[in-house]
Chains A and B, each alone.
Chain A
Amino acid sequence: MGITSKKEFEKNDFPILEQYEGGSIILTQLDALVNWARSNSVWPLTFGTRCCAIEFMAVGASRHDMARFGYEVARATPRQADMIIISGSINYKMVPVLKRLYDQIADPKYVIAMGACAVSGGPFFYNSYSIVKGADHVIPVDIYVPGCPPRPEALLYAFLQLQKKIKREKNFKKKLVK
């Protein structure tokens, strides 16, 4: 704990806090604080390409109400969104658009692939010239939700899984010292 020698001080990534005894304890809890804040305010992008978008809308409506988990505001611009729900199949003409939307979301960003089409191409896997065989060919996906389309409960479960995943993150990890 704290600073014991000059050499260790130089290795340290957070010299301001580490110069006080027990300063690193604040950092261990800072992760939990930041993740708590982030996981309870994940704003999805208003993005739907097929019938899964209808279920996505149902989740946003009052019966299921995704606002209970902090997903309340579907933003119309990627610059204000934290995550993207790929609700529907992605065709090859859509690929550059989806890529650009994902690139415009500010870090940290998360992706839920909702439904069989976004997971693997689904019913369009075989003999289809236009549908991408899974959205993870285009952008990295955090949570996969199977179903055609999934029930709103399944999407709510995916929201909870994503929150768990966000809460596991280490934002202030020490860099490897050579």
Chain B
Amino acid sequence: MTNEQLIEKLTSAYPDAVVKQGSQYPEITVSFDKLHAFMLDLKTNSQLAFDYLVCESGVDYPAFIQVVYHLESTSLKHFLVVKTNTENRETPAIDSVADIWPTAEFHENEIYDLLGIKFNNHPHLRRIFLDENWGFPLRKDFKDDIHVVER
């Protein structure tokens, strides 16, 4: 499916989501409470068939924290970027997609480690790189006077 066909299909199927063409892939922004059902549909819908989660990452914005999913359909050869924003920055929480794409388990662990987003229904959410007593170092307001030399 080409990008134009994909955008057309997504706008008709999900009227309340924002779809646009990004610099490389089509981008769709969904609200965090509908995320899990939406993702499950992306995978199970035979016309979309997004069977491969290429990358999952987090972005820190002033008002919220964003989670970005890069999806690929290996059978239909198309890509999609899904973005979703957390409700706030203080207690960011979002549904895990580790039950849909198992690779998300480690991606979400890393996002939790560095940005502190809590993933609901994650099989084993833990600090994988850093110690328990660390903060979340990729947040903009991260402060560490012992380890960090500011410039």
Contacts and interface: CB of A to CB of B under 8 A. Distances in A.
**Do the two shown chains form a genuine complex with each other?**
yes
Interface of A: 92-93, 125-130, 133
B147 interface: yes
B129 A129 contact: no
Given A93-B129, A93-B130, A93-B131, A127 B151 contact: yes
Contacts of A127: 148-151
A126 B149 contact: yes
Given A93-B129, A93-B131, A126 B151 contact: yes
- The majority secondary structure among interface residues of chain A is loop
Nearest to B137: A129
Contacts of B41: none
B33 interface: no
A3 B129 CA distance: 65
Contacts of A92: 147
- The majority secondary structure among interface residues of chain B is loop
A122 to B, nearest CB: 12
Interface in B100-150: 129-131, 137, 142, 144, 147-150
Contacts of B147: 92, 128-130
Interface of B: 129-131, 137, 142, 144, 147-151
A124 to B, nearest CB: 10
A127 B129 CA distance: 18
23 contacts: A92-B147, A93-B129, A93-B130, A93-B131, A125-B149, A126-B149, A126-B150, A126-B151, A127-B148, A127-B149, A127-B150, A127-B151, A128-B147, A128-B148, A128-B149, A129-B137, A129-B142, A129-B144, A129-B148, A130-B130, A130-B137, A130-B147, A133-B149
Contacts of B129: 93
Nearest to B151: A126
A130 B142 CA distance: 13
Q: Which 4 A-B residue pairings sit nearest by Cβ, starting from the closest?
A: A126-B151, A129-B137, A129-B148, A126-B149
A21 B150 CA distance: 65
Nearest to B131: A93
Contacts of A93: 129-131
Nearest to B130: A93
Contacts of A129: 137, 142, 144, 147-148
Given A129-B144, A129-B147, 6 more contacts: A93-B130, A127-B150, A128-B147, A128-B148, A128-B149, A130-B147
